[in-house]
Structure 1
Amino acid sequence: MDKNILIIDDEIEIRNLIEIYLKSENYNIFQAENGKQGLDILKKEDIDLIILDLMMPEMNGTDFCIAARKKYDTPIIMLTAKDQDLDIILGLNLGADDYITKPFNPLELIARIKSQLRRSDFNKAKKTKDKNEYIHKGLYLNTITREVKINNEEVTLTPTEFEILKLLLINKGNVMRMDKIYEEVWGNDFMDSKNTVMVHIRKLREKIELDPKNPDFIKTIWGVGYKIEK
Structure 2
Amino acid sequence: MTVLVAEDEKDIRNLIKINLEDNGFTVITASDGKEAWHIIQTRTVDLAVLDVMMPVMDGFNLLMKIREISTIPVIFLTARSDDIDKVLGLKLGADDYLTKPFSITELIARVEAHLRRSTEYISKKEKTSNIIAYGDLAIDKDKCCAYKAGELIDLGAKEYKLLLFFMENPERVFTKRQLYQAVWEDEYYGDDNTIMVHISRIRNRIEDDPQNPMYLKTIRGIGYKLHHTGNEP
Q: Distance between the aligned counterparts of 1:13 and 1:96, measured in 2?
A: 24
Q: 2:88: which partner in 1?
A: 90
- Contact (CA 8 Å) 2:42, 2:175: kept in 1 or not? no
Q: 2:125: which partner in 1?
A: 127
Q: Distance between the aligned counterparts of 2:31 and 2:20, measured in 1?
A: 18
* Residue 98 (structure 1) shift: 0.5
Cα gap change, 1:163 to 1:109, in 2 (>3 Å)? same
Q: Distance between the aligned counterparts of 1:70 and 1:131, measured in 2?
A: 25
Cα gap change, 1:142 to 1:110, in 2 (>3 Å)? farther
Cα gap change, 1:142 to 1:130, in 2 (>3 Å)? farther
Segments of 5+ residues of structure 1 without an aligned counterpart are 135-140, 148-155, 169-207, 222-230
Count of aligned pairs between the two proteins: 164
- Contact (CA 8 Å) 2:81, 2:99: kept in 1 or not? no
Cα gap change, 1:220 to 1:90, in 2 (>3 Å)? closer
Cα gap change, 1:166 to 1:67, in 2 (>3 Å)? closer
- Contact (CA 8 Å) 1:131, 1:142: kept in 2 or not? no
Deviations 1:194-227 (A, max 9, x none): xxxxxxxxxxxxxx9947xxx5332369xxxxxx
Q: Distance between the aligned counterparts of 1:219 and 1:160, measured in 2?
A: 13
* Residue 167 (structure 1) shift: 9.6
Q: Distance between the aligned counterparts of 2:19 and 2:138, measured in 1?
A: 37
Segments of 5+ residues of structure 2 without an aligned counterpart are 148-152, 166-173, 188-233
Whether 1:160 aligns to 2:157 is yes
- Contact (CA 8 Å) 1:8, 1:38: kept in 2 or not? yes
* Residue 45 (structure 1) shift: 1.3
* Residue 9 (structure 1) shift: 1.0
Whether 1:75 aligns to 2:88 is no
Q: Which one scores higher on RCO, CA 8 angstroms, separation ≥ 6?
A: 2
Secondary structure of 1:117 counterpart: helix
Deviations 1:80-125 (A, max 9, x none): 2252321111000100000111111111111111110011101212
What is the correspondence of 1:13-28 to structure 2 with a 5 Å cutoff? 13-28=11-26
Q: Distance between the aligned counterparts of 2:102 and 2:43, measured in 1?
A: 27
Q: Distance between the aligned counterparts of 1:67 and 1:133, measured in 2?
A: 30
Secondary structure of 2:69 counterpart: coil
Secondary structure of 2:185 counterpart: strand
Q: 2:5: which partner in 1?
A: 7
Percent of aligned pairs sharing the same letter: 37
Q: Distance between the aligned counterparts of 1:131 and 1:45, measured in 2?
A: 27
Secondary structure of 2:28 counterpart: strand
Q: 1:143: which partner in 2?
A: 139
CA RMSD of aligned residues (A): 3.3
* Residue 163 (structure 1) shift: 4.8
Q: 2:34: which partner in 1?
A: 36
Secondary structure of 1:158 counterpart: coil
Cα gap change, 1:133 to 1:95, in 2 (>3 Å)? farther
- Contact (CA 8 Å) 1:5, 1:49: kept in 2 or not? yes
| TM-score using structure 2 length | 0.61
Q: Distance between the aligned counterparts of 2:63 and 2:75, measured in 1?
A: 11
- Contact (CA 8 Å) 2:41, 2:175: kept in 1 or not? no
Secondary structure of 1:219 counterpart: coil
* Residue 65 (structure 1) shift: 1.1
Cα gap change, 1:133 to 1:9, in 2 (>3 Å)? farther
* Residue 164 (structure 1) shift: 5.6
- Contact (CA 8 Å) 2:7, 2:54: kept in 1 or not? yes
